[in-house]
Amino acid sequence: MHSEYEFTSVAEADRRGFPSLLVVMLGFTFFSASMWAGANLGNGLRAPAFLLAVLAGNLLLGIYTGLLAHIAARTGLSTHLLARRAFGQKGAILPSLLLGVTQVGWFGVGVAMFALPVAQLFPGLPRLVLLLVSGACMTLTAYYGIKSLTILSIVAVPAIALLGSASMAKAFHDFGGVSAWFAMEPAAPLSLTAAIGICVGSFISGGTLTPDFTRYARTPKISVSATVIAFLLGNSLMFLFGAVASAFYQTNDISLALKAQGLIAVSVLVLGLNIWTTNDNALYAASLGFATLTRLRKRKFVLINGFLGTVFATAAYNHFVPWLNLLNLMLPSIGAILILDYFVVRRRAPDAAPEPGIRWAAVVAWACGFCAAKFLPGIPPLNTVLAASAAYLLLARRPRPA
């Protein structure tokens, strides 16, 4: 097995071209939960407002993740190794723990999202067995690293694209075409600001881990273009698939809309594959974080974290919305600090070694971001990014060139 570069920059020999990286990033952003978020937006907005909200939200996500992708390609470092530069070697324990623990929880949510619909479709299959088998399969593919993620994404991305397109085509055919969708009035109107917030919040926490995958890009151009396309195309399509189906079938539960279309059996397989790709990314990223903290190999933590995520899958799934809200409070400010640390604070010393202790400017800036997201009105993910950015720029001391 090749090295996963838990502790060092990715070697030039293992860097990847655009097609390979794009497949991985599309597998990351083609996530079934975005269909559910799209369903909520579709039932709360008229079609023009929906398209504007999704475009604006994913453009913001593309900028945020694109900047992180550029840094990762330039340095070849994971999110956690970049955090050691911004937060200090000891201070990086905070972001690595936050990212690691939350992604293990997200893995548990994904295991349940995969297993429970299958249990509903086939009542004779024991739920516990389905959870265990699902968790074991996802853990196995994450164990083999970035190559396994690429192969899985090559299968899952076209499958979900075909399912979503078929669902939209059937909805338009059965209910009068695109014009019928544009003529629909939402039953529970949603403000444009709230809609953009839902779109951004659906993936900004996961987007913070973009460097874990884009560090393999041969050039920053490849890294940034693959990432931005994945969010503008992949995540937008997932929102669109969910919105169109739910608007015509008047439900926020995309599985009920697919069931009404007679697509539930094939959708369980395709959506399951889709969840699998994103879930493997979460387990991969979490295990990188714990490997960085302990100096043990990532693969050991894949097994440990996969086991823990599977055991607590149902509990995590039952608290999905609070979990997502917690992610949006804690994680986006980490990405903002990494971006400013590279482009502004370290501009004249990009290769300066991490400080051995704690860089309190980063820790305090993270805390400011958390408080802004928790207590200020507006869009929490944007609040935390803006507050953490302002605090870090005020507090950070520029390192001297090596």
Tens digit of each residue's pLDDT (9 = 90 or more) over 208-241? 999 999 999 999 999 999 999 998 888 898 899 8
Lowest mean pLDDT among 224-233, 264-273, 377-386: 264-273
Residues 11-32: what's their mean pLDDT? 88
How many other CB atoms are found less than 10 A from the CB of residue 32? 26
Task: Check whether 269 has a pLDDT greater than 90.
Answer: no
The mean pLDDT of the chain is: 87
Q: What is the percentage of the chain residues whose pLDDT exceeds 70?
A: 95
pLDDT of residue 321: 65
**What domains are defined for the chain?**
12-315 (1.10.4160.10)
pLDDT of residue 304: 93
Task: Check whether 73 has a pLDDT greater than 90.
Answer: yes
| Cα–Cα distance, 47 to 55 (Å, whole number) | 12
Band the pLDDT of 319: cuts 50, 70, 90.
confident
pLDDT of residue 351: 67
Full 3-state SS string of 18-55: HHHHHHHHHHHHCCHHHHHHHHHHHCCCCHHHHHHHHH
Interhelix angle 146-175/127-143, nearest 10 degrees? 130
pLDDT of residue 352: 64
Alpha helices for 46-187 (secondary structure H):
47-75, 79-87, 93-121, 127-143, 146-175, 178-183
pLDDT of residue 270: 80
Band the pLDDT of 164: cuts 50, 70, 90.
confident
Are 231 and 61 within 8 A, CB to CB?
yes
pLDDT of residue 350: 61
pLDDT of residue 402: 52
Residues 265-287: what's their mean pLDDT? 83
Instruction: Specify the amino acid at residue 16.
Output: R
Strand-pairing partners, residue 16, are 217
Cα Rg of the chain (Å, integer): 21
Task: Check whether 1 has a pLDDT greater than 60.
Answer: no
pLDDT of residue 198: 84
Residues 307-336: what's their mean pLDDT? 83
Say which residue, 354 or 124, is predicted with more confidence.
124
Alpha helices for 176-263 (secondary structure H):
178-183, 192-201, 204-207, 211-214, 220-229, 236-249, 254-260
Instruction: Give the C-alpha distances (Å, rounded to integers) separating 215 from 79, 229, 243, 252, 367.
Output: 9, 17, 33, 36, 27
Task: Output the six-digit token pair for 89.
Answer: 């070697």
Of the candidates 295, 236, 224, 302, the one whose C-alpha atom is nearest the C-alpha of residue 67 is 224
Task: Check whether 57 has a pLDDT greater than 80.
Answer: yes
pLDDT of residue 6: 83
| Cα–Cα distance, 284 to 157 (Å, whole number) | 18
Q: What are phi and psi of 138, to 5 degrees?
A: -65, -40
Burial grade of 51 (CB within 10 A; 0-12, 13-18, 19 or more):
middle
Band the pLDDT of 60: cuts 50, 70, 90.
very high
pLDDT by residue (tens digit) across 90-120? Answer: 999 999 998 888 888 888 888 988 888 788 7
- H or E, element range at 294: helix 264-294
**What SS3 state is found at 280?**
helix
- Residue 140 neighbours by CB under 8 Å, 6+ apart: none
Instruction: Specify the amino acid at residue 209.
Output: L
